[in-house]
Structure formats: C-alpha cells, structure tokens
C-alpha cells in the first residue's frame, strides 16, 4: 500500500482491523473458512484463512500465503482475492496467515507465527485437506522475506519440507547497499530507501548482535538445500538488485530457480506499463505455482 510520510505515521492512520470473512467478496468456485490455530509457545493463536476449490474432497498441495506491508502494515484481508484465485487456478489449499506485526511484535514474532502455521498445516493435513508432501510458501515484499526466512528455517531444523518458495518483489537485505536501493529517494514510487530503513528498524527492534539470517535471508552464506524457487522482480523497484543477487546465488548453490525481471514494473507490481502487463504477470505467477505444486508444465 502506498505510504505518505513515515511508516510510524502510517501505523497510526492506515492500520485497520481485520474484517469478518463474510464481509469480503466471495470468489465463485472457492470455499473459504477462518480458523485460529495454535501459535508459538507462549504466544496467542494465529488467525488463518483456508481457501480451497469448492466441491473438491481430495487432499491438495498446500501453500502458505504471506501478505506484505513492510512488516508493520497489511492484513490477511489484503490478500483475500489473491489467495482465493490461487486456490482455484493452482488447484491448491491456500492458507493466508495473519501473523503478528511490528513494532509491537518485532522479529522473530511474525516468522514464528508462520512456522507454527506451517507445522499445523503439516500435522493437521486432514483438517485442511492438504497433502503434507506438497507444502509451499509464497509471499510479496515483507511476505517474501518471511517466506524466504521460513525456507531457511525449515531447512536448518529438518522440516517440514517445502517443494517451492515463491518470492514476489521480496525484501531480503537490511543492509540496503545495492545500487537500486542506494539510487532510490523519497520520489521513488511505492517504496524507497527511507521507508526501507524505517521498516527494518521497526521489524528488527532492539535485539543485540548481528541481524539473523532468518530475518534478512540475503545475509545467509549457505543457500544449498533450499526448495525450488520462483522469484519475480520489478525493474523500477529499489528492492530489485537484492532479489536479483539472491536469485543468482540460489542458482550458484544448486537450487532450481526461475527468475523473472519485469523491467517496467514498480514494487509489488503496482505500476506495470499496461493492464495487459498486469494480467501477464498474474497469470505467470499462478501458472508457475500450479506447475510446481503438481509437477507438470504450465498449460
């Protein structure tokens, strides 16, 4: 969402409570239900919404759908339409996660919420109609950071195993030293270095020592053993170069990676040149997800 002024101001003026699921537009052909699942030890339950193609009873591959919002804004309402569309198009169980937000809940609260939901999805597969052998994570912007951090975390802790991480214009590096980030200023549409600095400061809080790799995945030195990756990058996004570098390093580490750079797009694909471009990007994202989950070529 566009931010005028600081993120701190936006927290006060743009945050809105999550709406009841029944008030949101219904996608024909998709069932949606809302649950609260066990959170991390000592933390409250996590709000999730589970989307499935209507009338399907078989277990389907499952995708954790992680919203963006600079770690401090955004809710699962913002991805309601996307999650429903992905469930239908990709023939999947899509689980949107209402993780806790900074600065009230700095790192690792959001990541731990996502991990708790992933373990729940793997352990309660029958309840959500999920195939625990086909679990994936997908996220945009800050959600892409959480998805990538989750992939690193599950690799290092021995599961649950992921078949895909789908990262859309992700924020991956708190150092903010890439050429595309350094060149941005307050006039850069949607996102810029000033907002990025504040976002990371609010997310990381006052924790001592260096930034953990699970918080800023670009800091991870070893990317071997991560799941198949689809990474999409916007050419006019200050986050462009850190995502491109992360994709290159994944490929060098032997990870199957597909990277698409859309040159005319803004952060979050908020401003491709034409409506046709927006449709093309959305279809590619959905087709890639379906292909990876069902191990087949896109139709």
Tell me how far CA of residue 48 lies from CA of 64, 95, 110, 112, in angstroms.
10, 6, 13, 14
**Can you tell me which residue has the tokens 């597969």?**
125
User: Which member of 80, 237, 241, 285 is catalytic?
Assistant: 237
105 is catalytic: no
| The one catalytic residue among 141, 184, 199, 232 | 141
> Which residue in 67, 80, 105, 267 is the catalytic one?
267
Note the Cα 11 to chain centre separation in Å: 20
141 has catalytic annotation: yes
Per the CB < 8 A criterion, the answer to whether 46 and 37 are in contact is: yes
237 is catalytic: yes
Total residue length of the chain: 299
Contact predicate 206/186, CB 8 Å:
no
Q: At what angle do helices 275-294 and 80-89 cross, to 10 degrees?
A: 50
User: Please, are residues 125 and 59 in contact by the beta-carbon 8 Å criterion?
Assistant: yes
Rg (CA), the chain: 18
Catalytic residue positions, numbered: 141, 237, 267
């Amino acid at each position: 969402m566009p931010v005028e002024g600081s993120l701190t101001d936006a927290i006060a003026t743009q945050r809105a409570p999550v709406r009841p699921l029944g008030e949101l537009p219904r996608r024909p052909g998709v069932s949606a239900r809302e649950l609260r699942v066990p959170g991390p030890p000592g933390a409250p339950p996590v709000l999730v919404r589970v989307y499935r193609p209507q009338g399907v009873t078989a277990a389907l591959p499952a995708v954790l759908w992680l919203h963006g919002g600079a770690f401090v804004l955004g809710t699962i309402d913002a991805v309601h339409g996307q999650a429903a569309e992905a469930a239908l198009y990709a023939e999947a169980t899509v689980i949107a996660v209402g993780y806790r937000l900074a600065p009230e809940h700095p790192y690792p609260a959001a990541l731990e919420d996502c991990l708790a939901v992933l373990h729940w999805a793997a352990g309660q597969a029958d309840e959500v109609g999920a195939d625990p052998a086909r679990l994936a994570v997908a996220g945009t912007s800050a959600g892409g950071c959480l998805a990538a951090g989750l992939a690193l975390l599950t690799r290092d802790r021995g599961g649950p195993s992921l078949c895909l991480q789908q990262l859309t214009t992700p924020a991956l590096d708190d150092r903010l030293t890439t050429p595309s980030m350094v060149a941005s200023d307050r006039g850069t549409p949607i996102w810029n270095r000033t907002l990025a600095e504040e976002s990371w400061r609010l997310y990381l809080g006052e924790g001592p020592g260096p930034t953990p790799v699970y918080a800023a995945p670009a800091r991870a030195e070893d990317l071997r053993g991560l799941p198949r990756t689809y990474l999409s990058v916007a050419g006019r996004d200050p986050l462009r170069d850190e995502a491109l570098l992360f994709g290159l390093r994944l490929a060098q580490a032997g990870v199957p990676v597909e990277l698409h750079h859309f040159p005319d797009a803004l952060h979050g694909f908020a401003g491709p040149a034409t409506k046709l471009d927006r449709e093309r990007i959305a279809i590619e994202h959905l087709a890639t997800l379906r292909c990876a989950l069902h191990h087949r070529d896109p139709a």
